[in-house]
Amino acid sequence: MENPFKSTHFNAIGPYLQKKFGGRVAKLSIDGGFTCPNRDGTKGVGGCIYCSDDGGGHYASDITGQMELLSHKWPESKYIVYFQSYTNTYGPADILRKKYEEALARPDVVGLAIATRPDCLPPDVIELLKELSRRTYLWVELGLQTIHDSTALLINRGYPLNVFDEAMDRLKDAGIPAVVHLIFGLPGETHSDMIASVDYVAAKKPFGMKFHQLYIMKGTKAAEYYPERLRVLEKDEYISLVVNSIERLPQDITIHRVTGDPPASDLIAPLWSLDKRSVLNGIQKEFKRRGSFQGSRL
């Protein structure tokens, strides 16, 4: 089998979007002012054990400021607005519509990426997303993290696997592309448990996948458990897991992230996460060393 991705070794979302839109497409990570039902008591309390106060939106900020900055750097750039922090479909459909429409009304915005939980996609929200996806480029991101219900309990994710399955079915029926997030290094999981999650998600044929390592942030439940009850992955171990995973993925699945990018001020471990460039280079080096690429082990 030929490597169609050349030096990137996988179907990275950046080049994919560039090709689709005929130029650079930047993602603007924003905080849409949502909360999360796993933190406010509706589905659970305390949130996922690794979740920090910003609900996962470490770099989310206001849309205008980001656009101004980027327009100086890349005047021709188009934008996808990424509703990143907390649960971005958690609210009445009319309020959601207002927020999404506001983002779409900005000049040069060509689409939306909406991060949410699988248990926050009721029929009226699916209808809204379906309608929007007919007139703009849109995908929904689901924070699954693991397929193992025993791990889901340990991390206080707040829903079992069948809820994810149903959400994927609803999105598929509505023709809405899904991007699924997985975390490697969750408590109690072996490498084969993690690869089982990769295979399970791949079999659902999502539009995209995101991978990152478990990291321990200040102020989280995970920080209370670390290091006595939680370990974190070594860098080489993580790199090997990412390469093993991508080699098993069909080539049409887009890869949206291969390492996390935590803010230095709040990170406790693993500290190698701070050198993102070195992790990315390590992944490319490992593909090169193996002579492998996305789908080469299928």
Within 139-158, the residues that bind ligand SF4 by CB under 6 A are 143
Q: How far is the CB of 110 from ligand SF4 (least distance, A)?
A: 26
Task: Give the C-alpha distances (Å, rounded to integers) separating 288 from 6, 283, 285.
Answer: 10, 9, 5
- In DSSP terms, which residues pair with 184 in a beta bridge? 213
Nearer to ligand SF4, 45 or 69 (CB): 45
Residue 76, burial from CB neighbour count under 10 angstroms (0-12, 13-18, 19+)? exposed
Q: List phi, psi (to 5°) of 218.
A: -55, 145
- Going by C-alpha positions, the residue among 211, 288, 209, 284 that lies closest to residue 254 is 209
Specify the DSSP element, H or E, that contains 221. helix 221-225
Q: How far is the CB of 291 from ligand SF4 (least distance, A)?
A: 37
Specify the DSSP element, H or E, that contains 69. helix 63-73
Task: Give the C-alpha distances (Å, rounded to integers) separating 22 from 39, 120, 138, 239.
Answer: 41, 34, 17, 31
Q: Which stretch binds ligand SF4 (CB under 6 A): 6-14, 35-43, 160-168, 218-226?
A: 35-43
39 binds ligand SF4 (CB under 6 A): yes
Distance CA 172, CA 169 (A): 5
Q: Which stretch binds ligand SF4 (CB under 6 A): 33-41, 65-73, 94-102, 192-200?
A: 33-41
For residues 148-164, b (16+ Cβ closer than 10 Å) or e, as one string? beebbebbbbbbebebb
- In DSSP terms, which residues pair with 236 in a beta bridge? none
38 binds ligand SF4 (CB under 6 A): yes
- Going by C-alpha positions, the residue among 20, 6, 5, 9 that lies closest to residue 177 is 20
Nearer to ligand SF4, 83 or 238 (CB): 83
86 binds ligand SF4 (CB under 6 A): yes
Q: Which of 11, 13, 26, 47 binds ligand SF4 (CB under 6 A)?
A: 47
Nearer to ligand SF4, 64 or 162 (CB): 162
Task: Give the C-alpha distances (Å, rounded to integers) separating 210 from 1, 23, 128, 180, 188.
Answer: 24, 23, 24, 6, 21
For residues 32-42, b (16+ Cβ closer than 10 Å) or e, as one string? bebebbbbeee
Total residues in contact with ligand SF4, by rule CB under 6 A: 12
Nearer to ligand SF4, 51 or 176 (CB): 51
51 binds ligand SF4 (CB under 6 A): yes
Q: How far is the CB of 39 from ligand SF4 (least distance, A)?
A: 5
Nearer to ligand SF4, 79 or 86 (CB): 86
Nearer to ligand SF4, 54 or 286 (CB): 54
Nearer to ligand SF4, 87 or 89 (CB): 87
Q: Which of 55, 118, 206, 208 binds ligand SF4 (CB under 6 A)?
A: 55
117 binds ligand SF4 (CB under 6 A): yes
> Which x/- pattern, by CB under 6 A, does the window 220-249 give for ligand SF4?
------------------------------
48 binds ligand SF4 (CB under 6 A): yes
Residues that bind ligand SF4 (CB under 6 A): 36, 38-39, 47-48, 51, 55-56, 86-87, 117, 143
